[in-house]
Amino acid sequence: MKASSLIAWIVALAVLALLPVLPEPIGTPFHVELGTKVLIMAIFAVSLQLLVGYTGLVSLGHAAYFGAAAYAVAMLTPRYEAGNGWLLLLAAIGCAALLALLIGFLVMRTRGIYFIMVTLAFGQLVYFVFHDVEAFGGSDGTYIYNKPAFAVAGRGLVDLDQSSQFYWFTLAGLVLTLAVLGLVLRSRLGHALVGIKHNEPRMRAAGYNTFAYKLASFVIGGALAGLAGFLYATQHGYVNPELVSWHQSGNALLMIILGGLGSLAGAVVGAFAFVLLAEWFQDLTKHWQLLMGGFIILAVAWMPQGLAGGFARLRMPHRGRPRPLATPATAAPADTSPNPSPATEQTT
């Protein structure tokens, strides 16, 4: 990572960390709760970016891992006391990763539109499991009455009932997610995934086990989606089958398209823009989806590289411009020598 990019990330995260301590009307409980929701969706979008933007796997079933983790928290949390946060977190991420492993092993043999449709089918299968099985609360969902408790050596580490502490806890989760994916993308695995995205047959011919690499990407993305699901369930205290629906997967896909494919920053920017605009449009009209759709169409048409890429281009307008044509002064002088070339001598 370039020094300028690292500084930009540090500044952005530092600004985000200040939200709960800012004076009103910015640092209100409502804005802190909204900021927490944005951060959770950013983690979810980043997890999908690994599949779509870096591996070239367009999945419409990604919400299955998000929702499965949320349901794991709901099912394992005691009714009358706080559950062990560490165990619940591991269980949520583990359930999401295991589900991603099972689904990924079955769908990874398909490609293109078939891959998209099969992931959609598996996502809907998981949706109807949670929707129809009464043990999961059926279509009404189920409540989580106590937030998890995180303790070290018997002492509380963080109080998730405090909105500001939960916000910082979620921000730390986003930082950890970005750090993990940053390391993955700079490793042999990350380089292989990018190569598979651009030319899988060539990578296979070069001796790479593309099935294993794609499956690893699928599981890592599912596990990180599980982290987002854990945080979502903890914040809202309620889960329902809509968390697993294809609409949720579609929203995450729109976030990374809006922010910019193939960029971690793009996923974060897209999540921020999508959630905040949705909140604003819902206050304007009940048909807010029309406004959101129009905005996404205009944004993609004006900024094909996404909001993050568009902002970078505005910040450095000289990048990407065609080079000027050579002028007569800079062009190479023509050969005006009277001596004929060797080829001319031979022909004569």
Model's pTM, two decimal places? 0.87
Task: For residue 116, count other CB atoms closer than 10 A to its CB.
Answer: 17
Please give the structure tokens belonging to residue 176: 């950890």
* Residue 145 CA from chain centroid, whole number: 29
**Paired sense of beta strands 238-239 and 150-152, if any:** unpaired
Distance CA 31, CA 157 (A): 24
- 24-38, 106-120, 332-346: segment of lowest average pLDDT: 332-346
Q: Band the pLDDT of 27: cuts 50, 70, 90.
A: confident
One-letter-per-residue 3-state SS of 31-69: HHHHHHHHHHHHHHHHHHHHHHHHHCCCCCCCHHHHHHH
Give the helix ranges, DSSP H, for the chain. 3-17, 29-49, 63-76, 85-107, 112-132, 163-186, 188-205, 210-236, 246-259, 264-284, 288-302, 306-315, 342-347
Distance CA 342, CA 348 (A): 10
- Asked if residue 314 has pLDDT above 80, the reply is no
In the chain, pLDDT over 90 holds for what percent of residues? 71
Q: Which of 92, 55, 49 is nearest to 72 (CA)?
A: 92
Given a contact cutoff of 8 angstroms between Cβ atoms, the answer to whether 77 and 146 are in contact is yes
- In CATH, the number for domain 32-310 is 1.10.3470
**How many degrees, rounded to 5, is the angle at CA 154 between CA 168 and CA 95?**
60
- pLDDT score of 285: 86
The residue whose two tokens read 């059926």 is: 138
- 34-48, 80-94, 290-304, 316-330: segment of lowest average pLDDT: 316-330
- pLDDT score of 11: 87
Each domain of the chain, given as residue ranges in start order, spans 32-310
- pLDDT score of 330: 45
pLDDT tens per residue across span 158-204: 889 999 999 999 999 999 999 999 999 999 999 999 999 999 999 99
